[in-house]
Amino acid sequence: MIEVNKLTKRYGPVPAIEDVSFSVRAETTGNIVGFLGPNGAGKSTTIRILTCFQPATGGSATVAGYNVFTQSMDVRRNIGYLPESAPLYPEMRCREYLTFRGKLHGMARGDRERAIRRVTERCWLGEFIDRPISQLSKGMRQRVGLADALLHNPKVIFLDEPTIGLDPTQIRETRRLIKELGEDHVVFLSSHILHEVEQICTHTIFIAGGKILASGAPADLRQEISAGSRLIAEIKGEPQAVESAVKAIPGVSAIECETSDAWNRLTIEANGTGDIREDVFKLVSAKGWSLREIRREVASLEDFFIKITAEQRGARV
C-alpha cells in the first residue's frame, strides 16, 4: 500500500528527513501503522510528501500503487489526510464543509449525502453538524477533520497526531474508531505517544532526526529492546562474595550492589537473549545463601524511545 524508497527532504542545507525507506503492506504489517518519533523527527514532513502536498528532494514513494510524484492525482483520489492542526475554514458550517470536500472529490449528490451521513455517524458529528466551524472546540474540529479524511472512503488514511488536544474520553473513542477503520482501510498515523501506538498499531516505524531507526510489530520491538535485559535480585550473604560470584555467571556484563541489613540488592545487566535467573538461583542455593526477590525488568518501548531520543541529542551536540 505504501512503499517508500530513500526519501530525502531538505529545507535549506539541513535535511528534515534523509534516506527514509519503509514499506506498508497489509500482509506483513497489518493495516494500522504507527509512525513514531520525537518532536522534529520528520513525521509531518514524511506524511506531507506521501500525501502529495510537498515534493521530496530525492527518493521515490508509491501510495496505493501510484507514484507520489508522477501520478499525484491518482494518489490523491485514494487517500484521506488529517493534518496535524486539523485546519478547516472557520466561516463554513460542518455540513457545508463536508459537502465542499465531497464535491472536490467528484462525488455525485446522492453519494455525497450518503457519505456525509456515514461520517457524521462514525465521527459523532451529529450534535454540531449544522453549526459554524468557528464555534467548535478543538476536539470537535479534530473530528470534523477526521470525517473529511474518511468522506470519500479512501484506501489509505494518513492521520498526523490524530489524538492531540483531545480529552481522555475522546482519545479512547478516537482510538476505537481508528481500530475500526483498520478493518477496511490502511491507516498510517503519526504519534509521539508510545502506549497509543502499542495499543492500536499492528506495526511501528520509529523515526528520529530524520532517519528510520527501527520498525516492526510493537511486540517484536519490545523483544528486540529487552534483549539486553536487567535483573533485580536480593540475596543475603557476604557482599563481596555475592557480588564476585554473580559477576562470574556467563552473560553478566555489569553489576551494582547495595547492601542494607545483610541483604544485598543487586542490579544485574545481562547481555544476550538468554534468561540468567535460573543460574542466579542455582548459584544461591549451591552457596547456601538466601534469596528473597528475583525479577527481570523488561524494557518498554518507552525506554527505547527515551534512549533513542537521548542518543540523537548526543549525536547532534
- What whole-number distance in Å separates Cα of residue 154 and Cα of residue 105? 10
246 is a contact residue toward another protein (CB under 8 A): no
317 is a contact residue toward another protein (CB under 8 A): no
Read out DSSP for 177-215? HHHHHTTTSEEEEEES-HHHHHHH-SEEEEEETTEEEEE
Among 188, 229, 173, 213, smallest CA distance to 309 is for 213
Nearer of residues 106 and 126 to another protein, judged by Cβ: 106
Nearer of residues 34 and 42 to ligand ATP, judged by Cβ: 42
Interaction residues for Mg ion, span 31-70 (CB under 5 A): 43-44
Residue ranges of the alpha helices (H) in 126-257? 138-150, 168-181, 194-200, 218-225, 239-247
Nearer of residues 38 and 132 to ligand ATP, judged by Cβ: 38
* Nearest-approach distance from CB 41 to Mg ion, in angstroms: 8
Using the rule CB under 6 A, give the single segment among 39-47, 179-187, 216-224, 278-286 that binds ligand ATP. 39-47
What string marks each residue from 81 to 110 as x (binds ligand ATP by CB under 6 A) or -?
Answer: ---x--------------------------
* Nearest-approach distance from CB 47 to another protein, in angstroms: 10
Interaction residues for another protein, span 32-91 (CB under 8 A): 48, 51-55, 73, 76-77, 79, 81, 83, 85, 87-91
- What whole-number distance in Å separates Cα of residue 35 and Cα of residue 42? 10
- What whole-number distance in Å separates Cα of residue 317 and Cα of residue 272? 30
Q: Which residue has the cell 514513494?
A: 61
Nearer of residues 92 and 164 to ligand ATP, judged by Cβ: 164
* Nearest-approach distance from CB 216 to another protein, in angstroms: 29
192 is a contact residue toward ligand ATP (CB under 6 A): yes
Q: What is the amino acid identity at position 280? A: V
Among 183, 193, 160, smallest CA distance to 81 is for 160
Whole-Å CA distances, 38 to 189, 190, 193, 195: 14, 10, 9, 14
- What whole-number distance in Å separates Cα of residue 152 and Cα of residue 77? 8
Contacts with ligand ATP by CB under 6 A: the residue count is 12
Interaction residues for another protein, span 89-148 (CB under 8 A): 89-92, 96, 100-101, 103-106, 145, 148
Nearer of residues 43 and 185 to Mg ion, judged by Cβ: 43
163 is a contact residue toward Mg ion (CB under 5 A): no
Count of all residues that appear for the chain in the document: 317
Hey, which residues does 236 pair with through a beta bridge?
263, 290
- What whole-number distance in Å separates Cα of residue 106 and Cα of residue 39? 36
Hey, which residues does 191 pair with through a beta bridge?
36
- What whole-number distance in Å separates Cα of residue 203 and Cα of residue 217? 4
Nearer of residues 102 and 209 to ligand ATP, judged by Cβ: 209
* Nearest-approach distance from CB 12 to ligand ATP, in angstroms: 7
Nearer of residues 76 and 203 to another protein, judged by Cβ: 76
Nearer of residues 73 and 315 to ligand ATP, judged by Cβ: 315
41 is a contact residue toward ligand ATP (CB under 6 A): yes
The residues of the shown chain that bind Mg ion, judged by CB under 5 A, are 43-44, 84
The residues of the shown chain that bind another protein, judged by CB under 8 A, are 11, 48, 51-55, 73, 76-77, 79, 81, 83, 85, 87-92, 96, 100-101, 103-106, 145, 148
